[in-house]
Amino acid sequence: MKVTILLICSCLVWGGLGKPQFPDQEKDPLFWNTWAQRTLKNALTLQKLNQNTAKNLILFLGDGMGIPTVTAARILKGQLSRQSGEETQLEMDKFPFVALSKTYNTNAQVADSAGTATAYLCGVKANEGTVGVSAAAVRSQCNSTQGNEVTSILRWAKEAGKSVGIVTTTRVNHATPSAAYAHCVDRDWYSDGEMPAEAVQAGCKDIARQLFENIPNIDVIMGGGRKYMFPKNQSDVEYPGEKKHFGTRIDRRNLVEEWNNRMKNKNAHYVWNKKELLSLNPNSVDYLLGLFEPGDLPYDLERNNETDPSLTEMVEVAIKILKKNPSGFYLLVEGGRIDHGHHEGKAKQALHEAVEMDRAIGHAGLMTSIYDTMTVVTADHSHMFNFGGYTPRGNTIFGLAPMLSDVDQKPFTAILYGNGPGFKVVNGLRENVSTLDYEENNYKAQSAVPLSMETHGGEDVAVFAKGPMAHLLHGVHEQNYIPHVMAYAACIGQNRDHCMSSSGASSLSAALPSLTALLTLIRLLC
């Protein structure tokens, strides 16, 4: 009986589709052979490696963007353009070099965003929950901070004379961006209002304060996190009546006002909404602080297009400001809410965030050159997210699988989570998803294990690279290898010997003809 129901359901689904959901040209072997040959010719050109020095460095970090998320986002991107989706190319798919990154923390098999950020920004693996400190530091133990600080590639770039920027869809003092400038044994110490009193008394600094004090002249800072910059109980400029958005600082400092005062003679601008941001002339802006929400920015699907900038819009302004520096720039861009969507079991929110980040990647590519700009796209960790169920070609990525379960005879969506808030039992049985709007923006996909928040996944994540020295990202690497490669490509940090030897070799090569002529003349005279 179960098998009969399964077959009937499958036939109904396939029968409803009519002819196969793929272009007729795909029936012809010539189509696939031609495509493969074209790809082969392109691959052969990669033998001519780009060994230029990278003037600019851009790291796009999709927080929680595991490989299943990349694949699902690719399909969504295509389906948003009325294609079946599977054959679509993401912008990151076009990068010529791809590697895998092992994401574990020094004390965790399945990583968190703080320890991983320390790895791919500072080049050192670290404990979960800590940013900008080595594994000798212990989470939440203030006295384990001093002496265990590690510096980031953003600082290396700044010290080399480059402009530097941070753009994120989360709080600017969230785990990912904070590892670029902070040294903190607890990722949750956003302001002193979130710190234990003994840690403050012992001299540990909150992350918001470190944003402005550790590397005081970060050229571009954009994201959320306004409330952590203002005195406790000070109302927010955008949401004056909502107490949850009030300032959190117990020390009563106004960090935005302090920044404005310090930068008043430096073509610096503070903005808090999209209109102010887009009204700026980047040519007359050298420093920009943009804090667009009290906390994280809204999901892209829920974004107010009039007041909140998209990730792509923020990236465009950032690059326009940073690229004015003749020495180049380093830019960290985080698609941070991919992670939040997955934690909440809201796959639609997560995947639209990934598509928006891919849009920003493409836009950055149009504004820069592969000849002098190294661009890397990766993730800090994965999630307990996947999709399957023998879905037919072109099936909406948020749709049902073409069968019923042969165990409980209920339908299921292609997207599922291993754990999370989508677990639900009705009268002792799994919920019937066909009675729900499973394509709604905030639908929580079913999960196997009930948790209030879905967890990270432990598998390797992809690393996409293009530009100078991109070929050095290949195979399977430890995550902390990434900033070392980028520093090597740009001749910053500790990786500068090859740049000096290259220039020396060039000088010697240029001098060899003259030296040979001189030796010949000496022999003739003698």
In degrees, rounded to 5, the angle at the alpha carbon of residue 275 between the alpha carbons of residues 269 and 276 is 10
**Is residue 438 a contact partner of residue 348, using CB atoms and an 8 Å limit?**
no
* DSSP label of 453: S
For strands 287-291 and 220-224, give the pairing. Answer: parallel
CA separation, residue 362 to residues 37, 214, 221, 328, 483 (Å): 25, 32, 21, 19, 22
Q: Which residues of 161-171 are buried (b: 16+ CB within 10 A; e: fewer)?
A: ebbbbbbbbbb
Spatial distance between the Cα atoms of 295 and 179, rounded to a whole number of angstroms: 18
Burial of 476 from C-beta contacts in 10 A (0-12 / 13-18 / 19+) = exposed
Set 10, 81, 84, 113: catalytic member: 113
* DSSP label of 455: P
Spatial distance between the Cα atoms of 86 and 89, rounded to a whole number of angstroms: 8
Q: From the annotation, which residues make up the binding site for Mg(2+)? A: 63, 174, 176, 334
Active site residue 134: no
Which helix (H) or strand (E) segment holds residue 276: the answer is helix 274-279
Q: From the annotation, which residues make up the binding site? A: 63, 174, 176, 334, 339, 343, 380-381, 456
Strand order in the sheet with 476-478: 268-271, 287-291, 220-224, 163-171, 329-335, 56-62, 373-379, 461-466, 97-102, 476-478
**Is residue 371 a contact partner of residue 53, using CB atoms and an 8 Å limit?**
no
Which helix (H) or strand (E) segment holds residue 335: the answer is strand 329-335
Provide the 3-class DSSP secondary structure of residue 521: helix
SS3 string of 186-239? CCCCCCHHHCCHHHHHCCCCCHHHHHHHCCCCCCEEEEECHHHHCECCCCCCCC
Burial of 435 from C-beta contacts in 10 A (0-12 / 13-18 / 19+) = exposed
Q: How many helices (H) and strands (E) does the chain have?
A: 15, 19
Q: From the annotation, which residues make up the binding site for Zn(2+)? A: 63, 339, 343, 380-381, 456
Q: What amino acid positions are annotated as catalytic residues?
A: 113
